[in-house]
Amino acid sequence: MLGLMQDQPLLISQIITHAARHHATAEVVSKMVEGGIHRYTYTDLERRSRRLARALQHLDVDAGDRVATLAWNGYRHLELYYGVSGMQAVCHTVNPRLPPDDVAFILKDAGSVLLFAETSFSALVEAVAPRVAGQLRAVVIMADRARMPNLVLPPGMALLCYEEVMAAADETYVWPVFDERTAASLCYTSGTTGRPKGVLYSHRSTLLHAYATSMPDAIGLRSVDRFLPVVPMFHVNAWGTPYAAPMTGASLVMPGRHLDGASLAGLMNEERVTMAAGVPTVWLGLLQHLRASGQLLVTAQRVMIGGSACPRMLCEAFDAEYGVRVSQGWGMTETSPVGTYNTPKASNAHLTGEAEMAMRVKQGRVLYGIDMRIVDDAGHELPRDGVRSGNLQVRGPWVCSAYYGEQPGSALDAEGWFSTGDVASIDPDGYMEITDRSKDVVKSGGEWISSIQLENIAVSHPDVAEAAIVAAKHPKWDERPLLIVVPKPDRSIDKDDLLRVYEGKVPKWWLPDDVVVVAELPHTATGKLQKNALRGQFRNYLIENGAA
Ligand code: AMP
C-alpha cells in the first residue's frame, strides 16, 4: 500500500522560491571583480534567475544542455546556479585555476553549449575558445556593456554581454516541474590522478545534501546567520552552501576573487559575517594577517574547514585568540561533497584539553543519509575501533554512482559502495579520521605512516608556515618520510629543533628522516598540496643525498 502524502519532486527552483517568499529581505552581498560591493535580496535573486531562464530559452538552451561557468563567488554566478538548473539544463562549473589544457578538455568532455565567464578570465577564454569551436555557441561575459572586454573568438562563436541578454528577457518565466532525478549540475574532480572526471549531481541529491548539511550537528546554518563561502562555487558547488543558505534563510556574503587574509578580515567585519567556510590554507592566511595586524574578528562565531586535514593549531588559535569555533568536515567531489562533520556527542561533550583536541582533529561523524565503512585491501570490513585503518568506502543518495558519460553504477562495487581513495580509521563513537590518501601514505618496512599526522604536527612549530610529507625511497625500509617545510616570513628553520616537535606525539620510527626547506609548496587548482609533483621532485632525495 502506498502512503497518501503529496508526491512533490525535490527541485532546486523550490529553494529559491522559498527564500524569496519567506526570507525576502535576506541579503546576497557580492564583492565585485571590478571593485565595489553589490547587494540585493533573495527576492531579487529569484526574479533575476527567472529572467535568466527566459534568456537561456532565447539562446536555444534545452533541457539537459550543459551551460558552463568560469566565475568567482558572486550574485551573477548564483543566478546561473538557479536559472540554469531551474530550467532543467545543467550548470557546469569549471575551475578557472586549472591549466587551459584541462579547461578545454573539461568543456569538450561535458559538451557544454554556452560559456558564462567573468571579465577576469578573458585570457583563459581566448586560449580555450579555438579548441571548443563548433561546440560552444557563445561566450557570455558576466558584466554590463561598459565592462565588456575585446575578445577574439573563433567564427561561429558569439560574444554576448550578460546584462544585455538579461535586459532582452522578461520575468514571466514559470519554474517547470519535472523528475527530481534530473541532472542539475556538473563538476569535475581536480584530476590528481589522470584526467578530471565529471560528477553529475541531480536535483534530488542536491536538495537532500543541502537538507542534511543544514542540520545543527553539521554546517547548521540559521536564518540569523550571515554566511561567507570562501570555498569557490567552482569547487563542488561551494560545498552546497549556495543551496543551504537560501534554504535556511541565511544571508550570503560572496567574496569575489580576493581571498587573502586582509581582504577576508575586512569583508567579515564590514558585512557582519557570523560563519564562513573554506580550506585550511585560507584560514592560515587569515590567521597570519590577524596576528600581524592586530585586527580582531568582530561578529564571526564559526568557521568550517574542509578539503584538507584541519591543522590542530587552527582550532586552538581561532578559539583562544578570536573566540571563533573551528569545525571540520570531510568530503569529496563525488560525495556532493559533505559526508562527515565534526561536532561533539553526549559521550564526549565533556572532554577538555588534549582529549577534546584529539577528538576535534578527526574528520567527524557521518551525516544522516551517508553510510561509511573501512575495508582492508581484500575488501573485508575492518573494526570500528579507532585504531585499525583501511580504505574508506561510502554510499548514500548524494554519493556518485558513475562518472559523467559512464554507465550508472559503474563507480561502485557489487554492494553499492564507492571507494573514496582515502585511508581512515573509525572509532567506536563513529568519528572517522583520515590518515592519508591511499597514494600518499608512507609505507616503511611494511607499516603505514600517516603523512597527514606528521604534517599537522610540523605546522604546530612556531617557525613553520606550511609542511608536506613525501614518501622518499629508502633501500632498507622501502619508503621513509621526508619533511618539506616553508618557513614563516622572517623565520628560519633549525632542523633538530623542528624534529623535536614530534617528541612524545608519534612513535620514534615515524620521525622524518630529513627536512628540506623550500620557499613555497605546489598546490592543486583547489588549494590542496600537489603531492604528486612533490613526489616527482623528492622521491629519490634520501638516496641521492646520502641520507639513506
Ligand atoms: P575534492 O574532490 O577535490 O574535494 O577532494 C576530495 C579529497 O580531499 C578527499 O578524498 C580527501 O582526500 C581530501 N579531504 C577533504 N576533506 C578533508 C579533511 N577534512 N581532512 C583530510 N582530507 C580531506
Summarised one tens digit per residue, pLDDT across range 295-343 is: 999 999 999 999 988 988 999 999 999 999 999 999 999 999 999 999 9
pLDDT at 527 over 80: no
**Quick one: pLDDT at residue 413?**
96
**Quick one: pLDDT at residue 154?**
98
> Which has the higher per-residue pLDDT, 452 or 521?
521
Q: Cβ-count burial of 286 within 10 angstroms (0-12 exposed, 13-18 middle, 19+ buried)?
A: buried
Ligand 1 pocket, mutate which of 281, 440, 528 (most atoms under 8 A from CB): 528
Q: Which atom of ligand 1 is nearest to the CA of 328?
A: 19
- Among 2.60.40.10, 3.40.50.300, 3.30.1310.10, 3.30.300.30, name the CATH number for the domain at 439-544: 3.30.300.30
**Quick one: pLDDT at residue 32?**
96
- Quote the ligand 1 centre to 363 CA distance (angstroms): 10
Global confidence as pTM: 0.89
pLDDT at 16 over 80: yes
> Which has the higher per-residue pLDDT, 376 or 252?
252
Contact 252, 229 (CB under 8 A): yes
**Quick one: pLDDT at residue 183?**
98
Span 83-141, pLDDT tens digits: 999 999 999 999 998 889 999 999 999 999 999 999 999 999 999 999 999 999 999 99
Q: Whose CA is nearest to atom 20 of ligand 1?
A: 309
Contact 387, 374 (CB under 8 A): no
pLDDT at 494 over 70: yes
pLDDT at 486 over 90: yes
Span 260-286, pLDDT tens digits: 999 999 999 999 999 999 998 899 899
Round the average pLDDT of the chain to a whole number and report it.
Answer: 95
* Whole-angstrom distance, CA of residue 160 vs CA of residue 137: 10
**Quick one: pLDDT at residue 190?**
75
Span 386-422, pLDDT tens digits: 999 999 999 999 999 999 999 999 999 999 999 999 9
- Quote the ligand 1 centre to 333 CA distance (angstroms): 9
Ligand 1 pocket, mutate which of 434, 439, 469 (most atoms under 8 A from CB): 434
Residues paired with 29 in a beta bridge: 39, 253
Position 227, amino acid: F
Q: Which atom of ligand 1 is nearest to the CA of 190?
A: 3
Quick one: average pLDDT of 180-188? 98
Span 132-162, pLDDT tens digits: 999 999 999 999 999 999 999 999 999 999 9
Give alpha helix (H) positions in 449-518.
451-458, 495-499
CATH number of 7-201: 3.40.50.12780
Residues with CB under 6 A from ligand 1: 189-190, 236, 306-310, 328, 330-333, 337, 363, 420-422, 434, 437, 526
Quick one: average pLDDT of 159-166? 98
Q: What percentage of the chain carries pLDDT values higher than 70? A: 99
Positions marked active-site: 189, 334, 443, 448
Give yes or no for a cis peptide into 337 (omega within 30° of 0).
Answer: yes
pLDDT at 69 over 80: yes
Please report, for the chain, the start and end positions of each structural domain, with discontinuous segments joined by +.
Answer: 7-201, 439-544
Span 222-256, pLDDT tens digits: 999 999 999 999 999 999 999 999 999 999 999 99
- Quote the ligand 1 centre to 340 CA distance (angstroms): 11
Q: Are strands 27-31 and 37-41 parallel, antiparallel or unpaired?
A: antiparallel
- Quote the ligand 1 centre to 143 CA distance (angstroms): 33
- Quote the ligand 1 centre to 209 CA distance (angstroms): 17
pLDDT at 548 over 80: no
Ligand 1 pocket, mutate which of 190, 330, 342, 398 (most atoms under 8 A from CB): 330
Span 289-300, pLDDT tens digits: 999 999 999 999
* Whole-angstrom distance, CA of residue 517 vs CA of residue 495: 9
Quick one: average pLDDT of 495-499? 94
**Quick one: pLDDT at residue 192?**
57
Closest CA to 488 of 522, 526, 462: 462
Q: What are phi and psi of 293, to 5 degrees?
A: -95, -20
Quick one: average pLDDT of 33-51? 97
**Quick one: pLDDT at residue 193?**
57
Q: Which atom of ligand 1 is nearest to the CA of 236?
A: 4
For residue 424, what pLDDT band results from cuts at 50, 70 and 90?
very high
> Which has the higher per-residue pLDDT, 453 or 332?
332
Residues paired with 370 in a beta bridge: none
pLDDT at 194 over 80: no
Q: Whose CA is nearest to atom 7 of ligand 1?
A: 332
Quick one: average pLDDT of 58-63? 98
Q: What are phi and psi of 475, to 5 degrees?
A: -65, -30
